[in-house]
Amino acid sequence: MEYKITTRSEFDTIELAQNIESEKFENMVICLDGELGSGKTVFTKGFANALGVDENITSPTFTIIKEYLYGELPLYHMDVYRLDGNTEGVGIEEYFNQGGITIIEWAKTIKDILPEERLEIKFKIVDENKRVIVITPYGQKYEELITFVQDRAGHDFRYAIDATKLENELGWKAEETFDTGIIKTVEWYLR
């Protein structure tokens, strides 16, 4: 099942990352995808900060993997864009079972080696500040994590989950007609 949330600022993206971090576990794998500037590194910064990593988090575009070993758990931050799917000799799979958390930017480029159980997060740019984030949990631990995050995130996230159900299961389509940032009025129509 997919879960959607709309963020309206970097702060919202960081808050989502912190909520997910609060339910962390060893060998957690988070796969991030989205166009350049969509929020992948912002999410990672928020997650790392909540994890207690004091170092400056930047995308490891040229180094491929950055290890942050001095938080509550080790954090392995990867940017696999430059690999273009060729992971031979890099050892990415070895990180999945090191007892830490692996966050992979541009994960779809290495989908063949990703573990079956993982959390996928896709970022879509709507405008300068607004993003639609689609979260797909694979595996029971990740489903449970999203349940906890949903409870913590408040009304907007639960609303988005209900909207996804309406769209996917009942064939309804949402059209946002008024949005104050606090309350949404949405018109629904049958596709």
Paired sense of beta strands 65-68 and 75-79, if any: antiparallel
Which pLDDT does position 188 carry in this prediction? 45
DSSP state of 100: S
For the chain, residues classed under CATH 3.40.50.300 are: 3-153
Beta strands in the chain (DSSP E): 3-7, 28-34, 65-68, 75-79, 101-105, 118-125, 131-138, 172-179, 184-190
Instruction: Specify the pTM.
Output: 0.79
What band does 87 get if pLDDT is binned at 50, 70 and 90? confident
- Which residue reads 């928020």 in tokens? 46
Q: Class assignment of domain 3-153?
A: alpha beta
Condensed to tens digits (0 to 9), the pLDDT of residues 136-174 reads: 999 999 999 998 888 776 534 544 444 555 455 555 555
Which pLDDT does position 178 carry in this prediction? 45
- Which residue reads 């999203």 in tokens? 146
What band does 61 get if pLDDT is binned at 50, 70 and 90? confident
Pick 132 or 60 by higher pLDDT.
Answer: 132
Region of residue 17 (phi > 0: left; psi between -120 and 50: alpha; otherwise: beta): alpha
Residue 3 to residues 80, 91, 149, 156, Cα–Cα distance (Å): 25, 31, 11, 11
Please state, in angstroms and rounded to a whole number, the distance separating the CA atoms of residues 171 and 184.
21
Torsion angle, CA of 141/174/43/147, rounded to 10 degrees?
A: -20
Pick 142 or 63 by higher pLDDT.
Answer: 142
> What mean pLDDT is reported for the chain?
83
What band does 85 get if pLDDT is binned at 50, 70 and 90? confident
Please state, in angstroms and rounded to a whole number, the distance separating the CA atoms of residues 115 and 16.
23
Which pLDDT does position 158 carry in this prediction? 41
Please state, in angstroms and rounded to a whole number, the distance separating the CA atoms of residues 189 and 191.
6
Looking at 88-102, 115-129, 150-164, 177-191, which range is the least confident one?
A: 177-191
Q: Hey, which of 8-22, 57-71, 167-181 has the most confident mean pLDDT? A: 8-22
The residues near 70 (Cβ < 8 Å, ≥ 6 apart) are: 52, 53, 54, 55
- Which residue reads 């309206």 in tokens? 8
Which pLDDT does position 161 carry in this prediction? 45
Please state, in angstroms and rounded to a whole number, the distance separating the CA atoms of residues 2 and 160.
10
Condensed to tens digits (0 to 9), the pLDDT of residues 104-116 reads: 999 999 999 999 9
